[in-house]
Amino acid sequence: MKFSRREYLKTIAVMGTLAAVKIYTADIKRALALAASGEVRVLWIQGAGCTGCTISLLQTNDPDLVEAITNFRLAIDFHPTIMIPAGEEALTELEGTVQGKKPLDVLIVEGAVPEGNFCMVGERNGEPVPFEKWVRELGEKAKYVVAVGTCATFGGIPSGQPNPTKCRGVQEVLPGKTVINIPGCPPHPDWMLLTLTPVLLGHANWIELDEDNRPKMFFHDYIHDLCQRRQFFENMRIAETFGEDECLWMLGCRGPITKSDCSLRLWNKGTSFCILSNGPCIGCTEKGFPDPPFSPFYQPVGFEELERKKLKGKVEVKPKVEQYRRSELLDTLIKLGVAVGAIGVIGYGASRALRKKEEKEEG
């Protein structure tokens, strides 16, 4: 299959990113192989974070670890977690890029960027080098910059109030650069692979970004709109304790104010996601997480404050969140279902009338 912008975006629009992973597996491998061959040079640096984004990427299953990640590991000239070189030998890759000796196609940043000496990576002339300095110097050299994980995109947990280390996202450190943000704590491996593939192939312009520089193909709909438990909310069946298979709003679900395709994509090879596992969405893909309105965790937010007894009394609740809306996709699916149902009824009626006519003629 020819890998073109038109076909790529068409596949995403018509079949969704779930199908795109399957369809473009070969192209994903090709992109990673290009990097492995040295045709595309990639550096992956990490600041204030837990390495969860790297672990998530290593858990990808299509392409699987043997087919793709081995090549991807070889592709990256610097990665603090999975590279073989260490110490000064490893830092030569960074220094060579800063000095202009080596080109840099893609800079991938994991983890938030603390201010000054709160995070140091290696030494230069006997002095520790702040991670912030590496981000600025390498970011200026890179053709494309990709921030993976909520820490790198928006500051995430390290930037939580009162944020004594002044952690922030990569975009704040590189205000003159377009940074592609792939949030999530951690991001789904599909989000990373389907974003990095066009970037590694030199087609970053294929990726349509939202107002927060997130790929729209993953962060278009609110989780609440496409949640498998949406029907419970519509009927005001609200869970009061964990373990109840009902809407988790009163237990702190941030689905109504969080954009992500988690409810469609699912995690761990399509097994489940937070809400299906009876855990409320905490809004980890959104700017501002984990501060209010995403915390305090396990407390409701986003709707009129009603007492539990009123909720259990099935009192109608009108959402107050301005962003709340019924998903266009959901509406389309509903209309499609009605149309298909109508066609089925008409077809059934026609076939039955024809059968009766045949029976009458035979009689």
Active site positions, annotated: 50, 53, 151, 185, 224, 227, 247, 253, 262, 274, 281, 284
What whole-number distance in Å separates Cα of residue 78 and Cα of residue 83?
A: 6
Are 102 and 41 within 8 A, CB to CB?
A: yes
Rounded CA-CA distance 72/93 in Å is: 17
- What is the sign, positive or negative, of the torsion defined by CA atoms of 187, 190, 195, 197? positive
**Block residue for tokens 């109030």:** 161
* Contact in structure between 186 and 221 (CB atoms under 8 Å): no
Grouping H, G, I as helix, E, B as strand and the rest as coil, residue 360 is helix
Q: Bridge-partner residues for 45, per DSSP?
A: 109
- Residues pairing with 65 in the sheet: none
Cross-strand bridge partners of residue 29: none
Partnered with residue 130 across adjacent β-strands are 120
CA–CA separation, 201 and 153 (whole Å): 22
Q: Provide DSSP, 248-307.
A: -GGGT--GGG-B--HHHH-BTTTTB-TGGGT-----TTSTTTTSTTS-STTS--SB----
What span, in angstroms and rounded, lies between the C-alpha atoms of 331 and 337? 10
How far, in whole angstroms, is CA 301 from its chain's centroid? 22
Report d(CA 106, CA 84) in Å as an integer.
20
Strand partners, 109: 45, 147
| b/e 266-294 (16+ beta carbons within 10 angstroms → b) | ebeeeeebbbbeebbbbbbbbbbbbeeeb
Helical spans, DSSP H, in 24-48: 25-37
